[in-house]
Structure 1
Amino acid sequence: MNVMLTSVGRRAYMVKYFKEVLGNNGKVFVCNSDDKSIAFKYADEKVISPLIYDSNYIPFLLEYCKENRIDIVISLFDIDLLMLAKHKKQFEEIGTKVIVSDPSIVEVCNDKWKTYKFLTDNDFHAPMSFLDMNEVIEKISEGKLSYPIVVKPRYGCGSISVAIAYDEEDLRYLTKKANEDIANSYLKYESSVTTDKVIYQECLKGQEYGADIINDLTGKTQNVIVRKKLAMRSGETDIAQLVDEQNIKETLVRLGKTTKHIANMDCDIFMVNGIPYILEMNARFGGGYPFSHMGGCNLPKAIVEWAKGKTVDKDTISARTGITGYKEIYITEI
């Protein structure tokens, strides 16, 4: 079996995980829009692809998958997910299975306003969110909301331009800055569909958690692994402890059954006075997955087995609790 990871970026560990699973029974292929990817060092085969929004991107991938007999395609980047989800059937026609959720769920995850509406419409707790800065100012003057306020791109990822406003002056400046950052980054592509490019959220006070909601390839929820975030760096979990938080787990099992997403959904949660509030949903492997893997969960193996039509035992997608993991920084010569 051959596996291809698209928009692989710096997630070399995902290449290693899949190579361990495949052994001598397949290859791991990777692609990225440039060669500045450490994952290229570890993959069996690598290729530079057109940019995601280039009209040649999907035709390029289809041809590459056909030529190299790729069985599974998995994207590691939010923007890429929607593009692949919309062309999933074309890949199936050449014998390649794209491990991605339905476009409607990917859109809910990528658009933080749709995330908020989806969560509240389905009776999940989420931080109060707004698209209109003036509405935020009005709510604060009425005493229905208070500073600090989180200001961030509506279609953001990687903590780009996420900031906290402590007063109205901050709020206005950070709104202007967020719009400028969006215009000068890849966020401009997804953000182009709306004039409301910035979202405002109440700043929750509580313990932050991350989680992997694991569904099989038919969208049935199989398990939830929860980690307590102890330190963050550039929007990703740097230090975390795997924990048994039943309140969070029960909430996320219900979320997984509601989304019916495919494979992993990476979530951010705040526990406020014993109530789980869901902040973010990412329909892919997130930066916190290595902690689940460290604890014994092997989702890459499960995906490969499910793709073969085999059953996967619960131990394969479970993790030990009570252990703490630290990410390290290595310098690698290429």
Structure 2
Amino acid sequence: MNILLTSAGRRTYMVEYFQKAIEPYGGEVFALNSDINAPALWKADHFEVCPLIYDPSYANFLFDYCQSNQIELVVPLYDIELPVLSRLKSKFLKNNIRILVGEEWLTEMANDKWLTQNFLHKHNFSTVPCFLSLEAFVDSYRQNEISFPVYVKPRWGMGSLSLYKAENLEELKFFFGLVKKEVRRGTLRFESQKDFESSVIIQAVLPGQEFGLDIINDLEGNYCNTIVKKKLGMRSGETDCAITIRHEILSLLGQKLASITKHPGNIDADVFLDGDEAYVLELNPRFGGGYPFSHRAGVNLPEAIVSWCLEINVPKNTLDYNEGVLSMKGIEMIDRHD
């Protein structure tokens, strides 16, 4: 069994996790990225530089690459590829290639911050006040329904790309226009073509402490566990330092989300806790940047995924974690071996 990581980027640790998981079965880890200097490529057993996800040739390239290299599992690692791959997974599965991705409705919702908050509100989760226009925000502001500061960001965004904090109305108007320009010119222009006029979102700044959740289901969408991490440091929109904790409210929140989404594998959720009130900010139905903290605490989701694919029993402790594990990310130098 061979495994392919798409949009591998800088996630060298994901390559290593899957290499260890598949080694007992004689498999190898392949990696794709559109940039040959992506560090994770050079950690993989084999790699290829691929077309961009929105290139018309991408789907055929991916299918041919999988068949040529006896790939049986595709693990996507980048938000914007998830909707594209969700539309391909039925075709691939008919050819014995499993793509670890949720249903199309889930990937489209999770990539769209406005749809995410609507989904959460529909299912009675506490949500973040959001606005798609300056006019809507100003109306609420004048009625004392919201106050500054607020965040201005792309509606279809990721990480900290084009994220700004506005302290007053003058700054808000400036950042709103700036984000719209950056969206039009940058890498997010493809997603934003769906509704460019509503491609910028204004979000309230949430109170309380931020937590990251790894919400794990098996490949059939059955709930397994929620790993709770208290975020202690952030860098470029990604968790940089965290400690694992036990928290009943957040664990139950994860279980409720899992029962609704029925996703395979992992959902990475960002949650703010203010007293006993948990506000869900974002959902990422993939291995997120916070997963290594769960792995360091004893979880081995790559091993579980390989076992599920091979129809091998997964011991309960494979997805359990140790409380109080504080870890942080470092920087690793990678050499090219052309």
Q: TM-score range by the shorter chain?
A: over 0.9
Match of 1:254 in 2: 256
1:162 aligns with 2:174: no
Cα separation, 1, equivalents of 2:38 and 2:322: 31
Q: 1:248-291 CA deviation, whole Å, 9 max, x = no partner?
A: 11111101111111110001000012211100000100110000
Cα separation, 1, equivalents of 2:173 and 2:231: 30
Q: Percent identity?
A: 40
Match of 2:97 in 1: 96
Q: What are the ranges of 5 or more consecutive residues in structure 1 without an aligned counterpart?
A: none
The one of 312, 321, 324 aligned to 1:322: 324
Q: Shift in Å at residue 221 of structure 1?
A: 1.1
Match of 1:59 in 2: 60
* SS of alignment partner, residue 71 of structure 2: coil
Q: What are the ranges of 5 or more consecutive residues in structure 2 without an aligned counterpart?
A: none
Match of 2:299 in 1: 297
* SS of alignment partner, residue 212 of structure 2: strand
Cα separation, 1, equivalents of 2:49 and 2:91: 21
Cα separation, 1, equivalents of 2:293 and 2:170: 39
1:19 aligns with 2:19: yes
Cα separation, 2, equivalents of 1:75 and 1:207: 29
Q: Shift in Å at residue 95 of structure 1?
A: 1.6
* SS of alignment partner, residue 150 of structure 1: strand
Q: Shift in Å at residue 333 of structure 1?
A: 2.8
| Runs of 4+ residues over 3 Å off in structure 1 | none
1:116 aligns with 2:147: no
Match of 1:180 in 2: 181
Cα separation, 2, equivalents of 1:141 and 1:328: 45
TM-score by length of 1: 0.98
Q: 1:228-253 CA deviation, whole Å, 9 max, x = no partner?
A: 00010001111100010111111111
* SS of alignment partner, residue 71 of structure 1: strand
Tell me which amino acid in the other structure corresponds to 2:111. N
Cα separation, 2, equivalents of 1:182 and 1:273: 36
Tell me which amino acid in the other structure corresponds to 1:237. T
Larger CA deviation: 74-83 vs 309-318? 309-318
Match of 1:331 in 2: 333
* SS of alignment partner, residue 268 of structure 2: strand
Q: Shift in Å at residue 96 of structure 1?
A: 0.6
The one of 231, 239, 242 aligned to 2:241: 239
Cα separation, 2, equivalents of 1:158 and 1:58: 25
Q: 1:45-98 CA deviation, whole Å, 9 max, x = no partner?
A: 000111100110000010111111101001000111111110111211222111
Q: Shift in Å at residue 202 of structure 1?
A: 1.1
Larger CA deviation: 280-289 vs 306-315? 306-315
Q: Shift in Å at residue 219 of structure 1?
A: 0.8
Cα separation, 2, equivalents of 1:160 and 1:90: 33
Is the contact between residue 272 and residue 281 of structure 2 (CA under 8 Å) also seen in structure 1? yes
Larger CA deviation: 176-185 vs 95-104? 176-185
Cα separation, 2, equivalents of 1:329 and 1:45: 23
Please provide the CA RMSD for this pair. 0.9
1:311 aligns with 2:308: no
